[in-house]
């Protein structure tokens, strides 16, 4: 029986088409399932005591911030790189940000340049690093989503009172959402510190897909929550007492349906790929 190369090519194209959702959505599912283990690995990699020198560098950075902030829009695609002088490796993870109601747990890097924002979230230079100061604003940037990563895709679902946690390797800072707003890229005055308030603002592009505006979600720092060290305790005990892991486990997620939707797509696509491969093999062997 003479084989039709057109039919074989058709099967191959169908297989490739099915591999795309398997890879993209499979990556999202994997990241959702592995985020806690990555966070725990980060915690385990930290020295037993964060150096006093690093604390002084953070305090110095915050102290030197000009009241008239010079912020670069991280979404304009301009190539730039900031030297904070805080970490030995400028591309190392500075901390982790968690939003339990979105089941979000992402690493945070210093400097919102392209490579950092592909890897995770990024601190925007010209704004304060998290601390317990009475007046400051921290700004964290994140993409609205990549083909294989979610990032800030669902932060428009946040509502007043939702919690956010930021762990810098030494302490866990707790914040509560107070409001959100949409601005033009030129309205940087919206990110200036407010006297007597310790704020953290998330910034991302909006709307999808034009991305010509910026969505800001503002959080206010709440009661101090110190990070715990559990080097001599079991992993389960550490999980129970780490404020981020505890919050992720006990807070009802607003996006859990999306996770199962992604799983369903992966499973259906995988079944389809196996069937196409089976048909291709049968056709070639016939």
Q: What is the β-pairing status of strands 213-221 and 172-183?
A: antiparallel
Tokens, residue 213: 């505006």
Q: How far apart are CA 172 and CA 49, in angstroms?
A: 15
Tokens, residue 243: 């404020």
CB 152 within 8 A of CB 204: yes
CA distances from 258 to 103, 128, 170 (A): 11, 33, 32
Q: How far apart are CA 162 and CA 99, in angstroms?
A: 8
Catalytic residues: 143, 205
How many other C-beta atoms lie within 10 A of the C-beta of residue 223? 6
Nearest to 101 by CA among 266, 271, 256: 256
Cα dihedral 180→258→23→76 (10° resolution): -10
Residue that is written with structure tokens 């499979």 in the block:
26
| Long-range Cβ contact pairs of 85-91 (< 8 A, separation 24 or more) | 85/57, 85/61, 86/54, 86/57, 86/58, 86/61, 86/110, 86/129, 87/54, 91/115, 91/116
No. of helices (H) and no. of strands (E), the chain: 6, 8
Helix, strand, or coil (residue 1): coil
Nearest to 240 by CA among 26, 50, 40: 40
């Amino acid at each position: 029986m003479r084989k039709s190369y057109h039919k074989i090519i058709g099967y191959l194209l169908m297989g490739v088409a099915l591999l795309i959702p398997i890879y993209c959505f499979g990556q999202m599912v994997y990241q959702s399932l592995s985020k806690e283990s990555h966070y725990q690995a980060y915690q385990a990699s930290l020295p037993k005591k964060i150096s006093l020198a690093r604390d002084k560098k953070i305090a110095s950075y915050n102290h030197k911030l000009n009241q008239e902030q010079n912020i670069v829009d991280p979404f304009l695609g301009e190539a730039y790189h900031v030297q904070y002088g805080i970490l030995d490796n400028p591309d190392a993870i500075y901390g982790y940000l968690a939003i339990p109601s979105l089941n979000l747990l992402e690493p945070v890097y210093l400097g919102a340049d392209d490579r950092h924002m592909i890897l995770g979230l990024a601190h925007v230079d010209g704004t304060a690093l998290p601390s317990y100061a009475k007046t400051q604003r921290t700004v964290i940037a994140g993409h609205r989503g990549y083909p294989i990563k979610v990032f800030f895709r669902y932060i428009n679902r946040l509502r007043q009172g939702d919690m956010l946690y930021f762990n810098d390797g030494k302490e866990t800072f707790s914040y509560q959402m107070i409001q959100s707003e949409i601005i033009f890229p030129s309205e940087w005055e919206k990110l200036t510190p407010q006297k007597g308030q310790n704020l953290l603002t998330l910034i991302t592009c909006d709307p999808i897909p034009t991305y010509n505006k910026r969505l800001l979600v503002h959080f206010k720092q709440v009661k101090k929550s110190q990070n715990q060290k559990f080097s001599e305790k079991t992993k389960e005990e550490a999980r129970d007492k780490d404020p981020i892991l505890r919050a992720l486990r006990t807070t009802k997620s607003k996006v859990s349906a999306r996770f199962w939707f992604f799983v369903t797509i992966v499973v259906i696509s995988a079944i389809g790929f196996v069937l196409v491969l089976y048909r291709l093999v049968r056709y070639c062997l016939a």
